[in-house]
Amino acid sequence: MAGITHRTVETHGIHLHLAEAGEGPLVLLLHGWPESWYSWRHQLLALAAAGYHAVAPDVRGYGQSDKPREIEDYSMKHLMADFVGVLDALGEKTAVVVGHDWGSAMAWNLAALHPDRFRAVVGMSVPHMGRTPLPPTQLFKHAFGEKWFYILYFQEPGVAEAELEADIPKTVRTILAGVPGFDTKSAAVQGRKQGDGFLTGLAAPETLPGWLKEEDVAYFAKELQGSGFRGGLNRYRNMDRDWAELPELATAKIEQPALFIIGEKDPGRAFAPVEPMKALVPNLQDILVLPGAGHWIQQERVAEVNAALLSFLKSLPA
């Protein structure tokens, strides 16, 4: 894309691919599952035009970044070290970190545990959860019982990979444009039984929503053809490990200025409550709920998200 440049940096013993635009204060943009830097294509240029250095990595396991093999290589500790290392590689002492989906969880944790490096934080779609009372998979088993739940389905190595990689273009189209398998309120997902998959009962829509182009689906699919789904799925397989390795999240507060943006129709709202975040993020400036928007919010609502981001950034101390 015009105005966006690409390079690879070494950080925390691996190589990460970066897409970047502009000059000025650093804004680090972290994508979620199952995406890539391309999720931020609209924000990179808007931030650059406003006088910021916008940088969107491919998270380890995705796109053109390295893809370590072991499950534990995708723990939150490793991911946070990757992004602190990106600041070092760029010669920057601090950055504003912005994340969506799993990138949001990474952004919140970076702000909580590395406050000297991240001067403000924006989370999208996934609120800051702190540290749950029990390991996450135990909580999910208590909450869902015998019901099918995608995070529990993702735990067995190789199973979801085989399903999702059988027809990657169709998988991407279904997840981004159709009913995603994490929509616990949809009839198709509620009707699943143990042994069903993430795509069971779902169809890839023939017509894309207005915010998503055929070339966008093709780009995501091409990147996932190269990387596979293993790295992204390994992130889910580290949730209990993160719980054990990061007990400090139980008491750590995010004191930096913060903003949270979520779509009114984001399926995650059914199982990731926002209210508890307020006690953990005392300088949360706003919880912005965009009417009618779903999960892929920075792509669905470009103008509104960009306006909110720029307004928040301009409010920060120089």
Structural domains in the chain, sorted by start:
5-315 (3.40.50.1820)
What is the per-residue pLDDT for 4? 97
Which residue in 31, 100, 128, 295 is the catalytic one? 295
- Ranges of residues in the chain with a pLDDT under 70 are none
- In one letter, which amino acid is 317? P
The strand pair at 118-124 and 95-100 is best described as parallel
pLDDT on residue 1: 75
**Catalytic option among 58, 66, 101, 183:** 101
Query: Strand runs (DSSP E) across 34-151, as ranges?
Result: 53-57, 95-100, 118-124
Q: Is 295 a catalytic residue?
A: yes
pTM for the structure as a whole: 0.97
pLDDT given for residue 299 in this prediction: 98
- Is residue 107 within 8 A of residue 80, CB to CB? The reply is no
Q: How far is CA 9 from the centre of its chain?
A: 21
pLDDT digits (tens, 9 = 90+) for 113-148: 999 999 999 999 999 999 999 999 999 999 999 899
- 101 labelled catalytic: yes
Q: What confidence score (pLDDT) does residue 124 get?
A: 98
Structure tokens at 2: 């015009």
Query: pLDDT averaged over the chain?
Result: 96
Q: Please state whether beta strands 53-57 and 14-21 pair in parallel, antiparallel, or not at all (unpaired).
A: antiparallel
The rounded distance, in Å, linking the Cα atoms of 98 and 130 is 17
Q: What pLDDT, on a 0 to 100 scale, did the predictor assign at position 184? A: 86
Instruction: Specify the pLDDT at position 271.
Output: 82
pLDDT for 318 equals 77
Q: Which amino acid is at 316?
A: L
**CA separation, residue 221 to residues 66, 165, 211 (Å):** 18, 10, 17
User: Could you tell me the sign of the dihedral formed by the alpha carbons of 190, 194, 195, 198, in that order?
Assistant: positive
Q: Which helix (H) or strand (E) holds 176?
A: helix 168-177
